[in-house]
Amino acid sequence: MQPVVTRKEYVTGTAPSTPSAGRTRSPATGQGSGLPRWVFAPAFLGGAFIVLPLVAMLVRVRWADFWGLITSESSLAALELSLRTCAASTVLCVLFGTPMALVLARSSFPGLRFLRSLVLLPLVLPPVVGGIALLYTFGRQGLLGHTFQVLGIRIAFSTAAVVLAQTFVALPFLVLSLEGTLRTAGRRYEAVAAGLGANPTTVLRRVTIPLVLPGLFSAAILAFARALGEFGATLTFAGSLQGVTRTLPLEIYLQRESDADAAVALSLVLVVVAVVVIGLARGRSGEGAL
């Protein structure tokens, strides 16, 4: 129950265009909605609260310098790093999150519910705490750090650490979203397939996965979006090294100190990416898929 609420909050946060878009699409909302009129007032205030800051930011953008600011060396490096690491962490989320969602949605064993709440912990954990936890797992002094050191692999404060931090926070989003899709899809088709003689692997490959593919797509988009905005865990676990670990959110935070105009310009880039991502997810799987 609780994580679902979290997910909705998250969507509202990353889809600032949603309320206004909804209003333009159905202008007759006030008529025959069955809602008391006064509900529209707080709803409007809430919508304004989300849209207004974005408008304020847009107003603050200095369009004359805009292109120069977002194509500076450090900006481009941050943007490229962000897209690369987010793509990698999304792939990791799909590879590990899909089996996790399958286990959660389709199997039953003692302790499954407990396991489920553990897996979803990063949803409610402050990202900084996640970063600390990762540091004490993969860092030099960490749980697995020594093992990796013997193998000659250093993870903390590398690009790999960025990917791990993003995967850590984004994985529950994919798992939760896909688990919901799997439960909604039900097992009827799987039972039919098994009856026709298909072994479990064939059922998974030819029936289960194709049926939830649109859901998997929007879950991956969700994970990508979450990874793109990741800040706290990245800063704690990976640091802020230009071209290596300094992703777009970190670059924005850094620029804000020295060059506010650059920070605003880069923020706008992130907003545009977020809008495109949400648009993609919606276009593929219809209204309300996220």
Partner 1 sequence: MRTERDAAPAGPGKLVVDAAVTTRGVDVHLTVAPGEVVAVLGANGAGKSTLLSLVSGSARPDHGRITLDGRPLVDTATGTWVPPHERGVVLLAQQALLFPHMTAVANVAFGPRSRGASRREAQETALSWLAAVDATEFAERRPHQLSGGQAQRVAIARALAAEPVLLLLDEPMAALDVAVAPALRQLLRSVLRGTGRTALFVTHDLVDALSLADRVVVMEDGRIVEDGPARTVLAQPRSSFAARIAGIDLIPGVVTEDGLVTTDGLRVHGQVAVGATIGEAGVAVFRPAAVAVHLTVPTGSPRNHFPVVISELEPRGEIVRVRSQDDRSGGTGGLVADITAASAADLELVPGKRVHFAVKATEVAVHAAASQP
Binding site for partner 1 (CB under 8 A): 188-189, 191-200, 202-203, 206-207, 210-211, 213
Q: Residue 149 or 202: which CB sits closer to partner 1?
A: 202
Q: Residue 201 or 258: which CB sits closer to partner 1?
A: 201
Q: Residue 146 or 206: which CB sits closer to partner 1?
A: 206
Q: Residue 62 or 206: which CB sits closer to partner 1?
A: 206
DSSP conformation letters of the chain: -HHHHHHHHHHHHH-TTHHHHHHHH-TTTTSS----GGGHHHHHHHHHHHHHHHHHHHHH--HHHHHHHHTSHHHHHHHHHHHHHHHHHHHHHHHHHHHHHHHHHH---TTHHHHHHHHTHHHHS-HHHHHHHHHHHHSTTSTTHHHHHHTT---TTSHHHHHHHHHHHHHHHHHHHHHHHHHHH-SHHHHHHHHTT--HHHHIIIIIHHHHHHHHHHHHHHHHHHHHT--HHHHHHH---TTTT--HHHHHHHHHHH-HHHHHHHHHHHHHHHHHHHHHHHHHH-TT--
Q: Smallest gap, in angstroms, from Cβ of residue 286 to partner 1?
A: 15
Q: Smallest gap, in angstroms, from Cβ of residue 187 to partner 1?
A: 9
Q: Residue 91 or 211: which CB sits closer to partner 1?
A: 211
Q: Smallest gap, in angstroms, from Cβ of residue 105 to partner 1?
A: 17
Q: Residue 164 or 216: which CB sits closer to partner 1?
A: 216
Q: Smallest gap, in angstroms, from Cβ of residue 65 to partner 1?
A: 50
Q: Is 21 exposed, middle or buried (0-12, 13-18, 19+ CB in 10 A)?
A: middle
Q: Smallest gap, in angstroms, from Cβ of residue 181 to partner 1?
A: 14
Q: Smallest gap, in angstroms, from Cβ of residue 184 to partner 1?
A: 14
Q: Residue 71 or 202: which CB sits closer to partner 1?
A: 202
Q: Smallest gap, in angstroms, from Cβ of residue 189 to partner 1?
A: 6
